[in-house]
């Protein structure tokens, strides 16, 4: 494991020193060197994430597909979404932007004699157990994702954006990143905000993102796969999440909102553990452009629908 970490550090260091730092120096931006170095992790973790997901999901989809691939163009659009999202630009922007805001906020607090506590101060046992602390970060962030997802279905204006994600009738592991840009920005601010609130160390943030993204991609895969009675209650499976994308689950009547841990659906009464059900996906009453339009078309239509929803039309 250490050898892999060392190899990775050597590679990122070489990349930074030879490709990024000279450019930063020439542009007079050495002040941002450390931030860009952190961004490199996001970008590389994004690429590694795509590679790992492809290696895991592609054989699974070939092995036991839920449905045959009838629309390759729709999948290509999802691949474009993935490429745009997974370079980590949005989470990074949110994290850097929020870190600046947090700095100002904490500065104001300290001016007034207060120092905000960290998660480890509230739960001292976490201080000496970084792996346990990391697990806590993941669980809390996953809980946050559950409620964001609930809100995406609950509010009409937000559903207008999120509908793009649900409109896909040819769902594969690429579908995970099929989101409206504005929806992505809100998600990044939400996720980054919670991460800063509980104090996820900046170095661990890309790892948390990578872990959740891997789970999400697998859950969208076109594979007839469940984890058994107990497993279905511990981890979100492709079966569990496909039910969420089923035609009966669109809008506010959804089930199975969890991203990583189904326990949230269990606790809040939104779980559906009917293991053998693999419904067709998509939003039957939605506009065709959201299902089969290109990336730009989907973005424009999604935005228009959001504005219409806000205006009450």
Partner 1 sequence: MRRACLALSLGLLGLAPAAVRADLVYVLNSGDASISVIESSTREEVRRIPVLREVHHLIPTLDGRELIVGDSVANELIFIDPATAEVTRREKLSNPYHLEHSPDGKHLVITSLRRDQVDIYDAPTRTLLARLKVPDKPSHLAYTPDSRVVFVTLQGARGLMAIDLQDRKPLWTAQVGSQPAGVIWHRGRLLVGIMGADHVAVVNPADGRLERTIPVGRGAHTIFPSPDGKTLYATSRVDSRVTALDAETLEPRDRWDIPGGPDCMSFDPQGRIWMTLRWIARIAVLDPATGAVETIPVGRSPHGIYVHPRREPLPAAGTEPFVATAEPALAPAKAGQDAPTPQPAVWQRDPVR
- Name residue 281's beta-bridge partners: 246
Q: Cα-flanking dihedrals φ and ψ of residue 281, to 5°?
A: -105, 170
- From residue 110 to residue 149, what is the string marking binding to partner 1 with x (rule CB under 8 A)? xx---xx-x-x------xxxx-------------------
Give Cβ neighbours of residue 60 (< 8 Å, ≥ 6 apart): 221, 223, 225
Q: Which of residues 191-250 bind partner 1 (CB under 8 A)?
A: 199, 201-204
Give me 10's structure tokens: 């050597």
Q: Please, which residue, 67 or 120, has the CB nearer to partner 1? A: 120
Count helices and strands in the chain by DSSP H and E runs = 15, 0
Least Å distance, CB 160 to partner 1, is 37
User: N- to C-terminal Cα distance for the chain?
Assistant: 56
Taking CB under 8 A as the rule, which mask of x and - marks residues 87-116 in contact with partner 1?
A: ------------xx--xx-xx--xx---xx
Q: For partner 1, which stretch binds (CB under 8 A), given 21-29, 84-92, 231-239, 286-294?
A: 21-29
Q: Which is nearer to partner 1, 88 or 238 (CB)?
A: 88
Q: Which of 1, 2, 72, 125: binder of partner 1 (CB under 8 A)?
A: 2
- Distance between CA atoms of residues 269 and 107, nearest Å: 41
CB of 5 to partner 1, least distance (A): 7
Q: Which of residues 23-82 bind partner 1 (CB under 8 A)?
A: 25, 28, 30-31, 33-34, 37-38
Query: Is residue 17 a contact point for partner 1 (CB under 8 A)?
Result: yes
Give the total of residues touching partner 1 (CB under 8 A): 41
The nearest distance, CB 104 to partner 1, in angstroms, is: 8
d(CA 310, CA 292): 25
Structure tokens at 197: 């609130």
Beta-strand runs (E) in 237-304: none
Q: CB within 8 A of 113, min separation 6: which ones?
A: none
Among 14, 63, 266, 268, binds partner 1 (CB under 8 A): 14
Write down the least CB distance from residue 244 to partner 1, Å: 35
88 in the Ramachandran plot: left (φ > 0), alpha (ψ -120 to 50) or beta? left
Which position among 10, 228, 231, 294 is part of the footprint of partner 1 (CB under 8 A)? Answer: 10
Q: Are 223 and 143 in contact (CB under 8 A)?
A: no
Element (H, E) at 302: helix 295-310
Contacts to partner 1 by CB under 8 A: 2, 5-6, 9-10, 12-14, 16-17, 21-22, 25, 28, 30-31, 33-34, 37-38, 99-100, 103-104, 106-107, 110-111, 115-116, 118, 120, 127-130, 199, 201-204
């Amino acid at each position: 494991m250490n050898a892999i970490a060392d190899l990775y550090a050597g590679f990122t260091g070489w990349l930074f020193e030879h490709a990024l730092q000279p450019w930063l120096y020439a542009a007079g931006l050495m002040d941002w060197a450390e931030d860009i170095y952190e961004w490199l992790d996001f970008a590389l973790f994004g690429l590694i994430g795509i590679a790992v997901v492809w290696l895991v999901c592609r054989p699974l989809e070939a092995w036991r597909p839920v449905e045959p691939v009838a629309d390759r163009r729709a999948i290509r659009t999802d691949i474009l979404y993935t490429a745009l999202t997974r370079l980590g630009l949005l989470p990074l922007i949110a994290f850097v932007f929020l870190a600046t805001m947090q700095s100002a906020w904490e500065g104001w607090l300290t001016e007034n004699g207060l120092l905000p506590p960290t998660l480890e101060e509230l739960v001292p046992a976490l201080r000496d157990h970084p792996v346990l602390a990391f697990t806590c970060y993941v669980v809390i962030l996953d809980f946050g994702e559950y409620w964001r997802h609930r809100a995406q279905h609950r509010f009409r204006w937000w559903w207008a954006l999120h509908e793009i994600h649900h409109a896909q009738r040819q769902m594969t592991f690429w579908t995970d990143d099929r989101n409206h840009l504005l929806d992505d920005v809100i998600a990044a601010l939400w996720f980054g905000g919670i991460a800063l609130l509980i104090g996820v160390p900046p170095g661990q943030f890309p790892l948390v993102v990578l872990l959740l993204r891997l789970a999400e991609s697998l859950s969208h895969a076109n594979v007839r796969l469940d984890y058994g009675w107990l497993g279905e209650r511990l981890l979100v499976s492709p079966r569990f999440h496909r039910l969420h994308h089923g035609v009966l689950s669109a809008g506010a009547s959804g089930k199975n909102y969890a991203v990583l841990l189904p326990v949230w659906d269990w606790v809040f009464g939104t779980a559906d553990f009917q293991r053998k059900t693999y419904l067709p996906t998509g939003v039957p009453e939605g506009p065709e452009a959201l299902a089969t339009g290109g990336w730009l078309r989907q973005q424009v239509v999604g935005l228009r629908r959001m504005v219409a929803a806000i205006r009450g039309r």
